[in-house]
Amino acid sequence: MTARVSRTWGAGCAIVLLLVCWQCTSEVFPDVLVPSPRQTFTALIELARTGELFTTAISTIVRAAAASVIAIVVGIGAGWAASSSSALSGVIAVIRGIGVGIPPVVVAVLAMLWWGADGRVAVAVAALVLFPVVASAAQSAFVHAPRELIDMGKAFNLPRFTVFRTITTRLVSAEIGAASRVVASSSLRVVLMTEVIAVGSGIGARIAYSRSLLLTDEVFAWAVFAVGFALAIDRLLVNRPARRAKTNIGRNE
């Protein structure tokens, strides 16, 4: 049995076990606390039938994508600046420390006071929380990039942009790419949390609305969709590239 088949079987068994535990729990507690899997998936199908599932999900996905792009672009720029100057490194270290240390809830509340219950709140919070991940990876990648190859390009009188495009980017792409994929897979979770707290639309806002009306089956339905989508993104952007890189390393050895 190959490793891929083993992983598939293991994942399938875990899902079945989770559904069994969920069903058993729903039989112990009332529906308003723990709806059964059948009730949850019925609510999910109804949300899809009315179109609400897709229109709401698009808002959240667009915000997560925007936050990812901002975090990646700002993080790469900050990492490059920190690697090129000790003074800038100190400044960016403070900014990065604030981004890591400040609770996302505080940022969400402040952004809500400034912009109201607007989608920009979710984008700003996710970008602020996640950009330090890319900034740290980018700084490390630029600092530890082999200077010999870069100096060789300069020795051949190549333009700076050509050196950066053909040599530097290839040296730092692996580390920055890994951090960017983590940011892309994590942005949805941060956006969802912010929507629950401070935004009037999106999956998180619908979860908060359904919770206020004690529509627990809809809460679970939105949660199931969000978890499934997050797992799919995580598999496509993180797990699969990591396994592919591991396979390539094994072949090279």
Q: pLDDT tens digit string along 156-214?
A: 666 666 666 666 667 777 778 888 888 888 888 889 988 888 888 889 899 988 888 88
Is residue 42, in this structure, part of any structural domain at all? Answer: no
Scanning the structure block, which residue is given the tokens 């950066």? 164
Is 52 within a domain?
Answer: no
Share of the chain above pLDDT 90, in %: 17
Residue 160: name the closest of 58, 17, 169, 229 by CA. Answer: 169
* Cα three-residue angle 199-190-49, rounded to 5 degrees: 65
pTM above 0.85, yes or no: no
Six-digit token string for 214: 């004690």
What are the tens digits of pLDDT across the range 5-41?
A: 677 777 778 888 988 998 898 888 888 888 998 999 9
Considering only residues 173 and 140, tell me which one the structure prediction assigns the higher pLDDT: 140
The answer to whether residue 161 sits within a structural domain is yes
- Residue 159 inside a domain? The answer is yes
Neighbouring residues of 16: CB distance < 8 A, sequence distance ≥ 6:
none
* Count of CB atoms situated within 10 Å of the CB of 242: 12
Q: Which tokens sit at 205?
A: 């806002």
Q: What string of DSSP letters covers 83-150?
A: HH-HHHHHHHHHHHHHHHHS-HHHHHHHHHHHH-S-HHHHHHHHHHHHHHHHHHHHHHHHHHS-HHHH
> Counting Cβ atoms within 10 Å, is residue 239 exposed (0-12), middle (13-18) or buried (19+)?
middle
| Domain ranges, residue 245 | 57-252
Residue 9 lies inside a defined structural domain of this protein: no
Residue 15 lies inside a defined structural domain of this protein: no
Q: What is the CATH number of the domain that holds 79?
A: 1.10.3720.10
- With respect to residue 7, please indicate whether it lies within any of the assigned structural domains: no
Question: Given pLDDT bands bounded at 50, 70 and 90, which one contains residue 249?
Answer: very low
Q: Are 180 and 174 a contacting pair, CB within 8 Å?
A: no
Among candidate residues 237, 236, 209, 232, the one with its CA nearest the CA of residue 222: 209
- Looking at the structure of the chain, the number of domains it has is 1
